[in-house]
Amino acid sequence: MGAGTEGFSTAPREGAGLRLAVSGQLIVLLPFLAVMVLATALIELLPVGHLTRRMVLHIFLMNLLAPVAAGLVVHRSAGHASQTTTLLVLVTALQIVVLWGWHAPQLLPAVMHAPMLHHLMVLSLFAVAYLFWHALFRQGHQRSWLSILSLMITGKLFCLLGFLLVFSPRNIYALAQDGGAGLHDQQLAGLLMIVVCSLVYVTCSVWIAARWFHNLGRRESAELLARAGS
């Protein structure tokens, strides 16, 4: 009877703790959502082509704002259990599907002319990027190899989209009728994607690998000291 009562009493506490954690994340994310809205408006003022402005916004959301937001949330919840391997695999795949889906030649031109659809794209890109970086930062040191693999796969597929934009001999998106200017806009957007995404994902992979090897070295040193002491 006592064990059953204890089980029922811990369930509400666990539910309350989960709700508190979620509400805490939402509070932390509110300023980042405000920055996202402001950035969306300011980037429209850039003296570049339509597609380049979209790419600048997407890069800012997915490679700067989302990782900073996720890093802050993870730092505030330090000491909590690390995320599972399955979750990181799922959000890695989800981020890639969402990015490529929104940039499909049939969909992106329609998004440019539909404000509500554009807002949905911006919000979804930030959301999946946040989930990816949050799961990545919550991986334990024992699964650093998975974090690096997820970064490399994501970076390669992001860069592949950039390469398609740069080296395509024609306009992929029906955003401009003036041929040369539209193609130049597309190539600049792809070049930005290649450069920035490579720097972000490679730099983060190197940082995780360095931290991984450092922890391995410390563990080996501790084991050697323990053997010497025994």
List the Cα angle 208/210/215 in 5-degree steps: 95
- Residue 29 in tokens: 């994310």
Q: pLDDT value at position 224? A: 60
Give the mean pLDDT of 121-132.
96
pTM: 0.82
Work out the mean pLDDT of the chain and round it to a whole number.
83
195: how many CB neighbours lie within 10 A of its CB?
13
Residue 185, pLDDT above cutoff 50: yes
Q: pLDDT value at position 219? A: 63
pLDDT digits (tens, 9 = 90+) for 66-124: 999 999 988 887 655 566 788 999 999 999 999 999 999 989 988 888 889 999 999 99
Q: pLDDT value at position 211? A: 85
Give the mean pLDDT of 148-175.
91
- Residue 216 in tokens: 């391995």
Higher pLDDT, 129 or 212: 129
Give the mean pLDDT of 6-29.
57
Residue keyed to tokens 């889906």: 101
Residue environment code for 73-85, b if the CB has 16+ CB neighbours within 10 A, otherwise e: bbeeeeeeebbee
pLDDT digits (tens, 9 = 90+) for 187-230: 999 999 999 988 999 999 999 998 888 777 666 666 666 666 66
